[in-house]
Structure 1
Amino acid sequence: MPDSFSHTSASMPLRDPFGREITYLRLSVTDRCDLRCRYCMAEHMTFLPKPEVLTLEEMLSLSRAFMERGVRRIRLTGGEPLVRKNILWLIEQLGEEVKRGNLDEITLTTNGTQLAHMAQKLAQFGLRRVNVSLDTLDPQKFATITRRDRLEDVLNGIKAARDAGIRVKINTVALKGNNEAELPDILDWCISEDLDLTLIETMPLGEVADARENHYLPLTAVLPRLETRWKLTPSDHRTGGPARYYTIVETGRKLGLITPLTGNFCDGCNRVRVTCTGRIYMCLGQDDHVDLRAALRSDNPQANLHSALDRAIGAKPKGHDFAMAEGRMVGQVNRHMSHTGG
């Protein structure tokens, strides 16, 4: 495999029908996870057979094709990306692309359980930022939400990542009747630990045990409660993702809100998601996709892959269909978040 991609006639930027340039790839490296968060997946999941999942070498080739077309940021997701065997090899290769100037950064979304023993290598290979999913600081509640008793592993992982020089941001899904009352305390903890926090509304992705409406908490109801403790001012800070940020005036730290149901953020969408099977989803809230694996495994992967990317981006919709209507979530898609990539 060559050390870097070569510029070809196919190196035109990826631009969708609405003039948005695609510069951000969220690449799922596995559908497997060592937690079973109730809002994300069923307790007894059927995971994909190995032949359907892209090899790490195929994921690197795919990433380089996206780089050639103008993608500057790649976020590795899952499932839990750090349970993928030999994932450090892929991170090292992408880190080399950052050194060469072909990428601005590689980032990672993780549940944090594997960070304690991997953080040093991640930092060594060029990872500078991670998002850690953490919905509660209460051990019993953590075990209830994730169906696993591993809060201590996550907290140790966060410390290890920071000790290694990796910047950590906390992602928390707001869950009515579960962590709702704890959200101000989670923000207080993040502030005390010099961590930024992003709150996320739950989304209608895949069938889970409980009706999603039972735990849906609009962030429009959360923000006023946080403002009783802290002065929050809107910020123009952006990281390439969908979050809209506030500055916590007293500390200078950031609070992000991802609001697919109460505040559509699609107008500036610059990203696509690719699953571990090579399906590109042009929108998290749509089922339309294009099969990139077939192109990667064809007799002319370079040409067929760029052709498939053109078809995919040409079909990118203006926005998702997620909404609340008469107390019910609409726009549900059939696949779980763990299949799509967070």
Structure 2
Amino acid sequence: MTRTPAFPPQGPPLIDGFGRTVTYLRLSVTDRCDLRCTYCMAEHMTFLPKAQVLTLEELDRIASAFVALGVRKLRLTGGEPLVRKGVMELVESLSRHLATGDLSELTLTTNGTRLAEFADRLAGAGVKRINVSLDTLRPDLFRALTRGGDLAKVLAGIDAAQAAGLKVKINAVALKDDNASELPGLIAWAHGRGLDATLIETMPMGEVEADRTDQFLSLKDVRRELEGFWTLEDIPLNTGGPARYVRVAETGGRLGFITPLTHNFCEACNRVRLTCTGTLHTCLGQEDSADLRAVLRAGASDADLIEAIRLAVDAKPKGHDFRIARAAGPAVARHMSTTGG
């Protein structure tokens, strides 16, 4: 890819209409994935044609505009970001913002299936830590939840990431009928390897075959159960995302809780999401959008792009209103794999 020149700083920071400063961009590089997790996407997905997906140069240009506007953290997501052809060229290009000090962190969320191939190169590009989505340590359940995935590949990827010096955090979606009973074991396993862990409530996004009403598990209940045999100490850790963290005294490890349904975290929201098609969503749980691809492909100047971003962020909604109910349906029609992790 051709490297996009760095934008000079572009005036005041990005502040929305409710006074929240946006410093975190989650950038989806593809809607494709090599797994088919039951709570994330339909079994037979129709993926986007190539012409609708931003080029690597377009992704770089938009991300660089956000950095010029004061965004300090970039997270690459998907789909599965490491299945995107040429993605490491994008990572290595964006790393120039780390070198200048304009960006504090460049990271990604991955399912881990391709980490063994890319871990060393990620570390070489200045990536310091990554999130790996892993809901179970049982090979049979992993295969069922992902519709055919190989747990051994993910574990080998985590090994490779740690060997490359990357800090790894395990993200697990809490599923009442599938992994609820093994969450303590998964947490203990992660902490035993020196990994942080975060639990996430399932979110009503996109039509999937499974009924998420039956699978929803309140993390308030999970925490109450964990406190029956562990000592959980609240800590003021802030990694730039929505998780609230505790330290587990018995393991010495950190555990996060992301609770979009049982504890709305919108009052401190500092992040926006760009889909791989160039649609900017300033709220995960609302149907708001701004088409930055149309702006770019109409021949926008840097000033035009900056203005489009500012206008979109100014209109950021106050918050989401996720509900899990049998009659409610998805809160938004788009799948998480399309929105970006």
Give the Cα–Cα distance (whole angstroms) in 2 for the partners of residues 251 and 179 of structure 1: 20
TM-score by length of 2: 0.97
Please tell me whether the aligned partners of residues 199 and 258 of structure 2 are also in contact (alpha carbons under 8 angstroms): yes
Give the Cα–Cα distance (whole angstroms) in 2 for the partners of residues 57 and 219 of structure 1: 40
Residue 275 of structure 1 deviates from its aligned partner by: 0.1
Q: Does 1:310 align with 2:310?
A: yes
Please tell me whether the aligned partners of residues 31 and 78 of structure 2 are also in contact (alpha carbons under 8 angstroms): yes
Please tell me whether the aligned partners of residues 285 and 322 of structure 2 are also in contact (alpha carbons under 8 angstroms): yes
Q: Does 1:281 align with 2:281?
A: yes
Partner residue in 1 for 2:332: 333
Moved more, 310-319 or 164-173: 310-319
Give the Cα–Cα distance (whole angstroms) in 1 for the partners of residues 62 and 237 of structure 2: 29
Classify 1:238/1:328 alpha carbon distance in 2 versus 1 (closer, same or farther; 3 Å).
farther
Residue 5 of structure 1 deviates from its aligned partner by: 1.8
Please tell me whether the aligned partners of residues 24 and 271 of structure 2 are also in contact (alpha carbons under 8 angstroms): yes
Residue 113 of structure 1 deviates from its aligned partner by: 0.1
Residue 328 of structure 1 deviates from its aligned partner by: 5.7
Classify 1:47/1:324 alpha carbon distance in 2 versus 1 (closer, same or farther; 3 Å).
closer
Please tell me whether the aligned partners of residues 24 and 272 of structure 1 are also in contact (alpha carbons under 8 angstroms): yes
Please tell me whether the aligned partners of residues 232 and 248 of structure 2 are also in contact (alpha carbons under 8 angstroms): yes
RMSD: 1.3
Partner residue in 2 for 1:211: 211
SS at match of 2:316: coil
Classify 1:330/1:245 alpha carbon distance in 2 versus 1 (closer, same or farther; 3 Å).
farther
Partner residue in 1 for 2:257: 257
Give the Cα–Cα distance (whole angstroms) in 1 for the partners of residues 304 and 140 of structure 2: 50
Q: Which runs of 5+ in 1 are unaligned?
A: none
SS at match of 1:183: helix
Give the Cα–Cα distance (whole angstroms) in 2 for the partners of residues 152 and 112 of structure 1: 10
Q: Which runs of 5+ in 2 are unaligned?
A: none
For residues 191-248 of structure 1, the C-alpha deviation after alignment (integer angstroms, 9 at most, x for no partner) is 2111110000000000000111011111111112212232101111010001010111
SS at match of 1:76: strand
Classify 1:69/1:140 alpha carbon distance in 2 versus 1 (closer, same or farther; 3 Å).
same
For residues 41-96 of structure 1, the C-alpha deviation after alignment (integer angstroms, 9 at most, x for no partner) is 00110000001000011111101100111100000000000000010011111112
Partner residue in 1 for 2:93: 93
Partner residue in 2 for 1:72: 72
Runs (4+) off by over 4 Å: 327-331
Partner residue in 2 for 1:49: 49
Report 1:4-19 matches (<5 A).
4-7=6-9, 10-19=10-19
SS at match of 1:321: coil
Give the Cα–Cα distance (whole angstroms) in 1 for the partners of residues 11 and 158 of structure 2: 38
Give the Cα–Cα distance (whole angstroms) in 1 for the partners of residues 329 and 206 of structure 2: 12
SS at match of 2:17: coil
TM-score by length of 1: 0.96
Give the Cα–Cα distance (whole angstroms) in 2 for the partners of residues 304 and 321 of structure 1: 32
